[in-house]
Chains A and B, each alone.
Chain A
Amino acid sequence: MSDKLAGALVNKGNVLDDLGRPHEALQCYEEAIILFKRSMERRGRAELNEELALALMNKGVTLRGLGRLEESLNCFDEAITIYRQLWEQGQGAPAYEFAMTLMNKGETLLRLGHPEEALSYFDEAVGIFRRLVEKHQGFAEWLAWTLRGEGKALDDLGRQEEALARYDEAIALYRQLVGVEGRKELEMELAAAMMNKGVTLRRGGCLEDALHCFEEAIGIYRRLVEVGGRRELVSELASALVSKGNALADADRPEEALTCYDEAIRVYRQLVEVEGRGELVSDLAGILVNKGNALADLDRFEEALCRFDEAVAIYRQLVERQGQKEWTDKLAAGLMNKGATLDDLGRFEEALQCYDEGIRWWEEVMEAGSKHVAAWLLQGLGVRFELKRRMKDWRGAAEDIYRALAVVRPFFGAESPPEVTVMALTEFLFRLRLLTPEEWAELDEVMGEESLEELRDWFERWGNEPVSQ
């Protein structure tokens, strides 16, 4: 009887998870898993393996939803081991559940930043779903879902053409399901697939095609929210508007981008300030930064400054008061944007203060072991160097060169430094190349010979002209 209790607990866990009560759901899954294992150990009930694997998969999905990604992976691994054993023993593992577990493991690996490994799980899951779809069209929805996952992994690996092919296949499946089979509940998945494709196209510089994708997604979300009353999709609508705004900004159409950002900001303000969705406040800050950049592109610096001010205040609140350190790099970037706008307004001292603080935050993130901010830190140092040069603060400018050298040294000892860091270094060196002989003479006065030698070495190694003397 305990295995039947376990089965009912798994069902209850599923409903609790759907109801947004993941902690209670977890308790149900955990109790069920213990009962299944006990039944199998005491009574040799090997046939319960399938049910145990399913409980483990569901537990993994709930853990992932709670951000407990490593624990989630353990659950998927245990379930996959069971399914593979069943397969090898010729007992016929349930193909759908096995493929779902593989797909879920792929999604978790993707979130953990392991696209290469994720890809192999998506591949295997896609293979199984393809065979299932041949027998029954009902699985097409999951094939489409898994193809999207595979597309994201490929995109993360820089294999954009292959990613686009996966998205196109998923989109075709969704169109068939929604348009021909009347599965209207999948319209939001079609919109999400269009968003995936749009993001990849934008990254590849295909802005017009990306815009078409975002516009179709916006159309679907807008209809679902405004006509279908699906209020829960309003943040997806806002996010699609932001993506469209970003593509328009990339296409040098800042006025149109502003219209998108404004609508998205209205939506997020309603969600955050009126409906109390505090978890979305960082999204609001992100759009404020984007809007600030679009305004700055239009030389509307005072307005841009207001947006950066608000964004910085939000990130500061998250980092300093709520201890959410994961927003530190955004706080730094917001400060650099604010600094650049003050710089454009000719308020150099205030700009310098912003740059100083932004760089301090990035250095803090680097010191905490996150090397991915090296490129941004280098860029920030370059921007501040440039301002100090204009302010004729040669000692300060030299200090930024020393710091930049300290940042790049560990990376460029490696055989293949990250591409973004190479680009940031090239940009930094380019700034130096623009110095006049008189300015070099000023720097020579304050920089040690050893540092100048090292700088010459960097110029030679990265294909720039040697430092002029």
Chain B
Amino acid sequence: MEQIERLMEEGINLADLGRLEEAIGCYEEAINLCRQWAEGKGREEFLARALSNKGAALRRLGRLEESLNCLNEAVALYQQLTKLEG
């Protein structure tokens, strides 16, 4: 989990610097690690965050369809998590 958090932070810093391709690389790595995890609330939340950040970075690069796919998945995950929270 620490590794995922580190990747997310690095991705955010790189995106702030405008180094979007590298930021996307970090988010993708984080997403892959999340997907390898066993299912559970922690995993879903990290995955949703990574997908949302990747979607935002892809949008800034004008890769809109890819961005939308990420954000659709992120929104669906957050919706599940919100339901679980009641």
Q: Which residues of A contact B (CB under 8 A)?
A: 1-2, 4-5, 7-9, 11-12, 14-16, 18-19
Contacts and interface: CB of A to CB of B under 8 A. Distances in A.
Interface of A is mostly: helix
Interface residues of B, number: 20
6 contacts: A2-B85, A4-B45, A4-B81, A11-B74, A12-B74, A15-B67
Interface stretch (B19-27, B29-37, B49-57): B49-57
Nearest to B78: A5
Contacts of A11: 52, 55-56, 59, 71, 74
In the A-B complex, the 8 residue pairs with the smallest Cβ-Cβ separation, listed nearest first, are A5-B78, A12-B71, A8-B74, A8-B52, A1-B81, A15-B67, A1-B82, A15-B68
B15 interface: no
A4 B82 CA distance: 9
A18 B64 contact: yes
B48 A12 contact: no
Given A1-B81, A8-B52, A15 B75 contact: no
Contact of B71 (A1, A2, A4, A15): A15
A4 B79 contact: no
Interface of B: 45, 48-49, 52, 55-56, 59, 64-65, 67-68, 71-72, 74-75, 78-79, 81-82, 85
B76 to A, nearest CB: 9
A15 B67 CA distance: 7
Contacts of B65: 19
A84 to B, nearest CB: 27
B81 A14 contact: no
Given A1-B78, A7-B52, A8-B71, A15 B59 contact: yes
A16 B72 CA distance: 11
A297 B24 CA distance: 60
Contact of A5 (B55, B56, B68, B82): B82
B19 to A, nearest CB: 14
Contacts of B59: 11, 14-15, 18
Contacts of B56: 11
Contacts of B48: 4, 8
Contacts of B45: 1, 4
A7 B59 CA distance: 15
